[in-house]
Each structure stands twice: as C-alpha cells, then as structure tokens.
Structure 1
Amino acid sequence: MREPVTGTVTPSDLYGFAERLTEAERSVLSELVTVLAEQVKPHLNEHWDAATFPDEIRQPLRDLKLMDPPALKAAGEPVRDILTGFRNFELARTDLNVCTYFNAQAGLFRTAVRLGGSAEQ
C-alpha cells in the first residue's frame, strides 16, 4: 500500500505541491489512496483481461463523494484545484481507465448539468 499524502516531497511531487494541501485535503486523499488500493486495484487485471468494466468499483468511488468531500464540508473548505489535481493523479496512478471513468461520469456530467441544466436537474 502506498504512503498517504503527507506534505513532504516525494519522487512524483518534485516541487512539493503537497505541502500546500490542508489537513482536510490530505485526509480526502489518504482515504482515496486506501480505497483505490483495497477496493479498486484488486479488480482491475481480471477485467482488463476480459475487456469488461469492473462494476464493483463504482460504489466505493461513489461513497467517497470526491466531488464534494465530507471532510472538506466539515472543515468549511472549498474543493480547490490543487486537490482536484492530486485526486486525478491518484486515480490515474491506479489506472488511467478508472481516472477517465470517474472524470467522465462525475466531472463532465456534473458540469453539463450545472451549465446547461435546470434547477431541478
């Protein structure tokens, strides 16, 4: 299992951007890293070989509420671009298809509804 984001420079964070994360943002990323390692990654190889999508990863990702994380709400913090970048890095580091799935379903759909949808949508 990978070390959680701590705010120290790692080989993938040469400029030390993790130091700019708040404690709540680190908590969100740490939870994401754990879920990816324990509930997502174990399913990827078998589905890659079968050319299918691992439906069992949907709920664990949904439960994290990454678009509006509860840890940030509790801390009264907005979702900042730096957190979005680290979130996408962790998703892509696990599997590029998982990152694409998440961003297409969560990001593109949510943006389309927010910009072009009605209040009910």
Structure 2
Amino acid sequence: KGVEITHRAAMNTVAEINRCYGVQATDRGLALSALDFDLSVYDLFGLLSVGAAVVLIDEDQRRDARAWLKALRQHRVTLWNSVPALLAMLLEANAQDRQPLDLRVALLSGDWIGLD
C-alpha cells in the first residue's frame, strides 16, 4: 500500500521532528528501516538535513539486535527511529550487558506502543 504526499509535506514533518527534539549536526542515527519503508524517510532526510550522521548496517544485520548494540556503542548513536518491536529487541539485547547508551531520543511509530 502507499500514499502519495508532496515533498513539502514530508519535509514539514522532518523539520518539526528536528525542531521538537533539538536534532542537530552532533546527532547520529542508526538507519534500520529498509528504504522502501516510510520510516527510512526520516532516517535519511531528517538527520542529513541538519548535518547529522546516518549510521548504516549490513543487510544481514537488519534483524540482529546484538549488531545494533555494537553499532550504537561504536558510533555513539543518539537517535533511535523504529517500530516498537525493534526497540523491544534492542532493550532485550541490552538487558544482558546493562551498559549505558548515548541515546537521547527514541522515535517510535508504525504500530501499537506499549506503556511498559
């Protein structure tokens, strides 16, 4: 399924997210979403529009939460953008290590978000 929107509408959303959360050039985001998924719009254009860095992972790591943790730590990722299930996988993987992360913003969408 798909919805046609203008570039202006997409950029309005990107600009508002960046404004609300103070996203700036010092931030880094982990691009987990495939390019054909709508969350990838922010992963790329949201971060790059303010000069922030986009951390990429290999295709075979797309569902490997331990690889995400490694990338988060190595690149000091500050912004997370995913569906809730992927954040749950990350938190479960980090539960064993319990090492602090540099994340300061977690954006969740695309599915029901549990209160826990």
The structure in which a higher percent of residues are helix is 1
Q: Tell me the TM-score normalised to structure 1 length.
A: 0.33
TM-score normalised to the size of structure 2? 0.34
For the pair shown, the structure with the greater C-alpha radius of gyration is 1
Which structure dedicates a bigger proportion of its chain to strand? 2
